[in-house]
């Protein structure tokens, strides 16, 4: 039996059967052998560019019209077909239909559709404890508290903490008291991937004690061995931090994608563990991360996320002249290190390279996503404030590229205006990735993406909107838990194939967790839809269905439910509590 709510307002599996739709469930990874491989695709995509316009004093410029902008892609002018203006206090656009923000839902029905709506930009404060030491974390927290004391009215802010995993500390709100309470309650976790997370990233080259320093100084081979070990340790830790950081940014992009409009990501960090050079992106281990970083940048751009990087180190001298920053304070005095195999010079070189690398990467990430980079300032509060002010008033331009060759290469976007005295900044471009290219990715990568999205270590994803109705075991469900999914069809990639049918494929998955967060069971299946024109029209007016049933004994559980478009890789997840009383399990029909 299907829940009444789904019969009345959303398309359920029951409706699909009654309509004699060709949607057939299949195991993940399997395909229909009779399905034709000839397809007709709408080979286009809308490119969205958020543009911040300011005058010579840095104040936002309002009143610009579509004709005031000239948009070019790789030097070729594009026709602007989407235009809108946004500023703080703007009324959010009217939302209608089953996948609008629903408010209160019927019992047993859950959704990942974002509840918070605004007509302006959203702001996300990312406190980076993974790549920052204790001292800089404390400085960043104090700066945020000062900023929140004077938070402009109507500015929605969410707070995330990047530690050994990404954690949502406070969801979107414009209430300064709630935000201050969240920041004040932040614990300062020690980064497991930094050599000296207490204060400095510089590692001691010598054992503790001046006698040991003298001994090592007389044995060049041992000194070189210690230096090589230090470098290998640093490289391994950098790889760990790169992996966690990119996973966190990917998860943020998926979590924010369902919110309409621009999202300003204010990333407060001591360092970014990636070096972006011409044609190559690497970590300190020299491992090439170009493909991974490009994918992350693409996810962020598609989610309309602009990165504002804030260097939490402020203005500071070398750590070797700061006793609090010496990772080995009772070893040889600084004066001795000045002459011992040139350690002072080596430390200065390491710190200089790290700062140059970090600032180069900060600039690159900000420019490519349409944000700004802030460093060399002791006014961290001001940097956070300027980040939010800069991205709060903007224009959204959209165009369909004239070049339909999706070759994966980077395409540079240029936006100009003939209005005198107006300065524009926006994201530099995008990677021309075919929208349906996700299906061609390595199976292990796709499996990893879904597993990450279904993990409680990451926030829920809103990139693919859906609702789920959960029915506990009963005689009507044959003593099984029944989950009916309803996916927003407007976000699904349909293909018109040579059989005249519209084809789509959606993965549905669930991980069942205990109240302690222990994964107990994982289930997944794929719904392949082959729809006639009239069926396709009805689906587009309602939803695309998927269904799961499974056995579950009495107890309290948390379900992380997920859906994924197998062609585009768009993912949506939600959390749903489920309580099965003792009498419900094994209930027989009377």
Query: Is residue 227's pLDDT more than 70?
Result: no
Confidence check: pLDDT of 335 > 50: no
The H or E element spanning position 47 is strand 47-54
Report the DSSP pairing between strands 305-311 and 373-374.
parallel
Residue keyed to tokens 């789509």: 504
Quick one: pLDDT at residue 234?
Answer: 65
Share of the chain above pLDDT 90, in %: 49
Domain range summary for the chain, segments of one domain joined by +:
4-41+442-580, 122-390
Mean pLDDT across the stretch 232-260? 86
In tens, the pLDDT along 139-164 reads: 888 888 888 888 887 789 999 999 88
Determine the average pLDDT of the residues in 330-354: 53
Q: Are 571 and 563 in contact (CB under 8 A)?
A: yes
Strand order in the sheet with 76-78: 76-78, 69-73, 410-417, 429-431
Q: What is the pLDDT of residue 29?
A: 35
Burial of 266 (0-12, 13-18, 19+ CB in 10 A): buried
Confidence band (pLDDT; 50, 70, 90) for 99? confident
Mean pLDDT value of segment 265-278:
76
pLDDT at residue 279 in the model: 43
The whole-number pLDDT of residue 265 equals 96
Question: Is it the case that residue 284 has pLDDT exceeding 90?
Answer: no
In this model, does residue 503 exceed pLDDT 90? yes
Residue 326 vs residue 61, higher pLDDT? 61
Query: Residue 213 phi/psi, 5° resolution?
Result: -60, -40
Residue 185 has pLDDT above 80, yes or no: yes
What does the pLDDT average to over 426-451?
Answer: 88
pLDDT mean over 82-111: 82
> Alpha helix (H) ranges present in 370-505?
380-392, 443-453
pTM: 0.80
Average pLDDT over residues 98-109: 79
User: Residue 376 and residue 374: Cα distance in Å, rounded?
Assistant: 7
- Top pLDDT among 249 and 104 is at 249
- CATH fold of 122-390 reads Rossmann fold (3.40.50)
283 in Cβ contact with 341 (< 8 Å): no
Q: Which two tokens stand for residue 546?
A: 């998927």
Average pLDDT rounded to a whole number, residues 243-268: 93
What is the C-alpha to C-alpha distance for residues 251 and 24, in angstroms, rounded to an integer?
A: 30
Q: Measuring CA to CA, which residue among 561, 562, 556, 563 is closest to residue 577?
A: 556
Measured between alpha carbons, how far is 496 from 83 in angstroms, rounded to an integer?
30
pLDDT at 318: 54
Q: Of 35 and 137, which is predicted with more confidence?
A: 137
Are 269 and 311 contacting, i.e. CB atoms less than 8 angstroms apart?
yes
Kindly indicate the confidence band of residue 207, based on its pLDDT and cuts at 50, 70 and 90. Answer: very low
Q: What is the pLDDT of residue 108?
A: 94
Report the pLDDT value the prediction gives residue 126, as an integer from 0 to 100: 94
pLDDT band at 230 (very low <50, low <70, confident <90, very high): low
Please, which pLDDT band fits residue 274 given cuts at 50, 70 and 90?
Answer: confident
How is the beta sheet containing 481-487 ordered, strand by strand?
A: 109-111, 466-471, 481-487, 544-550
Q: pLDDT at position 337, please?
A: 47
pLDDT tens per residue across span 193-203: 555 544 444 44
| Range with the poorest average pLDDT among 376-380, 435-439, 457-461, 544-548 | 435-439
pLDDT: is 126 or 210 the higher one?
126
Tokens 């500023």 belong to which residue?
Answer: 87
Stated as kind and residue range, the H or E segment containing 579 is: strand 571-580
Q: Which residue has the higher pLDDT, 350 or 427?
A: 427
pLDDT at res. 4? 35
At residue 466 the predicted structure's pLDDT band, cuts being 50, 70 and 90, is: very high
343 membership: H or E segment, kind and range: helix 343-369
Question: Which pLDDT score is estimated for 239?
Answer: 81
Q: What local confidence, expressed as pLDDT, does residue 62 receive?
A: 94
What pLDDT, in 10s, does the model give residues 34-47?
333 333 334 468 99
pLDDT score of 168 more than 50: yes
CA distances in angstroms from 248 to 84, 166, 323, listed in the order given: 30, 6, 34
Q: What is the pLDDT of residue 83?
A: 96
* pLDDT score for 442: 86
pLDDT interval class at 277 (50, 70, 90): very low
Average pLDDT, the chain: 80
pLDDT at 17: 36
Mean pLDDT to the nearest integer, 286-307: 84
Asked if residue 191 has pLDDT above 80, the reply is: no
Categorize the per-residue pLDDT at 396 as very low, low, confident or very high, splitting at 50, 70 and 90.
Answer: very high
């Amino acid at each position: 039996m299907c829940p009444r709510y789904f019969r009345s307002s959303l398309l359920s599996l029951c409706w699909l059967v009654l309509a004699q739709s060709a949607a057939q469930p299949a195991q993940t990874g399997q395909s229909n052998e009779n399905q034709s491989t000839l397809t007709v695709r709408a080979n286009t995509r809308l490119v969205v560019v958020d543009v911040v316009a300011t005058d010579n004093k840095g104040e936002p410029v309002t009143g610009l019209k579509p004709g005031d902008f000239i948009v070019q892609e790789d030097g070729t002018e594009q026709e602007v077909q989407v235009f809108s203006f946004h500023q703080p206090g703007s009324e959010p656009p009217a939302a209608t239909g089953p996948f609008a923000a629903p408010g209160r839902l019927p019992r047993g029905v859950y959704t990942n559709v974002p509840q918070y709506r605004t007509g302006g930009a959203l702001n996300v404060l990312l406190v980076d404890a993974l790549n920052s030491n204790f001292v800089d974390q404390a400085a960043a927290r104090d700066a945020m508290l000062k900023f929140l004391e004077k938070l402009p009215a109507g500015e929605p802010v969410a707070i995330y903490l990047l530690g050994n995993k990404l954690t949502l500390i406070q969801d979107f709100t414009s209430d300064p008291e709630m935000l201050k309470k969240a920041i004040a309650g932040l614990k300062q976790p020690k980064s497991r991937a930094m050599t000296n997370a207490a204060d400095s990233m510089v590692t001691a080259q010598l054992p503790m004690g001046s006698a040991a320093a003298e001994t090592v100084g007389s044995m060049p081979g041992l000194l070189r061995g210690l230096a090589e070990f230090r470098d290998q340790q640093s490289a391994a830790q950098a790889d760990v931090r790169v992996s966690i950081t990119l996973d966190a940014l990917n998860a943020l992009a998926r979590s924010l994608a369902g919110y309409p409009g621009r999202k300003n990501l204010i990333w407060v960090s001591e360092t970014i563990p990636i070096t972006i050079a011409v044609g190559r992106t690497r970590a300190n281990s020299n491992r090439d991360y170009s493909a991974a970083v490009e994918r992350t940048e693409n996810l962020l751009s598609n989610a309309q996320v602009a990165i504002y990087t804030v260097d939490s180190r402020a203005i500071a001298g070398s750590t070797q002249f700061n006793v609090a920053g010496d990772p080995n304070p009772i070893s040889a005095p600084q004066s001795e290190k000045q002459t011992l195999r040139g350690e002072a010079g080596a430390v200065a070189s390491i710190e200089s390279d790290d700062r140059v690398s970090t600032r180069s990467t900060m600039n690159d990430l900000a420019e490519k996503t349409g944000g700004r980079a802030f460093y060399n300032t002791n006014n961290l509060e001001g940097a956070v404030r300027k980040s939010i002010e800069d991205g709060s008033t903007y224009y959204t331009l959209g165009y369909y590229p004239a070049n339909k060759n999706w070759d994966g290469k980077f395409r540079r976007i240029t936006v100009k205006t003939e209005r005198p005295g107006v300065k524009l900044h926006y994201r530099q471009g995008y990677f021309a990735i075919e929208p349906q290219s996700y299906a061609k990715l390595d199976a292990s990568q796709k499996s990893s993406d879904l597993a990450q999205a279904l993990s409680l270590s990451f926030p829920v994803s809103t990139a693919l909107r859906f609702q789920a109705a959960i029915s506990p075991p009963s005689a009507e469900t044959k003593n099984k838990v029944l989950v009916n999914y309803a996916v927003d069809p407007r976000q699904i990639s349909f293909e018109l194939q040579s059989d005249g049918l519209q084809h789509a494929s959606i993965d549905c998955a669930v991980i069942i967790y205990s109240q302690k967060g222990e994964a107990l069971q994982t289930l997944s299946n794929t719904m392949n839809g082959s729809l006639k024109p009239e069926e396709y029209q009805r689906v587009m007016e309602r939803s695309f269905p998927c269904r799961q049933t499974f056995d579950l004994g009495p107890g309290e559980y948390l379900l992380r439910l997920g859906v994924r478009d197998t062609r585009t890789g768009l993912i949506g997840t939600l959390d749903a509590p489920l309580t099965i009383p003792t009498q419900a399990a094994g209930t027989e029909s009377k």
